[in-house]
Amino acid sequence: MSTHEPIADRDGTAAPSGTEQPSRSAAVSGAVAVDPEPPAGAPAGPGPEVLADPAPGAAADAAEGDVAEGEPTDRGSGWRLRDLAKLGAVCLLVLLLVNAFVAQPFVVPSASMENTLRPGDRLIVDKLAYQFGGDVHRGDVVVFDGTDSFVPGGDDRPGIGAELDRLAGALGLGDGSGTVFVKRVIGVGGDRVTYRAGADALTVNGVRLAESDYLFPGDAPSSAGFDVRVPAGALFVLGDHRSASRDSRDHLGDPGGGFVPVRKVIGRADWVAFPPGHWRSLDRPAGFAALAAAGGSGGDGDQG
């Protein structure tokens, strides 16, 4: 009759009763690892600890558990906010550069150009129209700085108020300052512009100018007569709503004679961009082409 001997340690001592036979191998990541044999005389001890692969998702749960309460878990959110701020700054810089050198919005402040332009209309002004050799033409609607022609130079006040006005103009929220005007060019350098009180039309270089395309309904070409010669490098400008416009006629006796220096022209008004119901392009009226065809001299080349 056979009997089972208790498992003995390698030193020959009997294993404590009740213990299970230790395993000689363990699976680690699908491979079989064999327990190394302890050297002779080494004390018995537990086998090496085997780390099993975590269950799917356990690593993520542990990582999330390391995040303090209230701390954002999206590590990239800060970078995204910084990128958006940089993008906004670049867009603002591009807008300011376009306003300064290419095109700028302006607000029509008064009724002096009705019905072509109405109070509150937003204009897009082409600031490159007269650059690189371009000339101002009769019939163009221009935005200009009226300092020293329509407004005495002393009225160009310094200070934060003036700077805020200029910023509003740059963003299309105002006219930019109290010295910015919008009018139609009637005569350019070398032209003689004449009106006889009570006549149905004014003349440019002796040629009758047809203004029915833009003159405010019911208005006469002027309420008073005048006869002027436009200096080289200057412009004679009038509003389309003659009875509601203060223009070159009102400043004939002032220093500068009411003539606007070409160098003070900010740009040509090309479009009405707002409100939507008043969208339109500001094309040169046909009467001015007829004036040139009739032999009206002076003009476009004599800008100074």
Please count the other Cβ atoms lying within 10 Å of the Cβ belonging to residue 114: 20
Catalytic residue among 177, 183, 222, 264: 183
Q: Is 112 exposed, middle or buried (0-12, 13-18, 19+ CB in 10 A)?
A: buried
**Quick one: which of 166, 167, 182 has its CA closest to 264?**
182
At 63, list the tokens: 């990582």
Report the chain's terminal Cα–Cα distance, integer Å. Answer: 134
Catalytic residue among 112, 177, 222, 248: 112
Strands 103-107 and 122-126: antiparallel
Q: Please list, in sequence order, all residues whose beta carbon lies within 8 angstroms of the beta carbon of residue 116, skipping any fewer than 6 positions away.
A: 141, 184, 214, 240, 282
Token pair 């009705």: residue:
114
Euclidean distance between CA atoms 221 and 239, whole angstroms: 10
Tell me the CA distances in angstroms from 5 to 10, 17, 285, one per residue in order.
Answer: 14, 11, 121
* CA atoms within 13 A of residue 172's CA, in its CB half-sphere: 16
Question: Is 183 noted as a catalytic residue in this protein?
Answer: yes
To the nearest 10 degrees (0 to 180), the angle between helices 160-170 and 77-101 is 100
Provide the annotated active-site residues: 112, 183
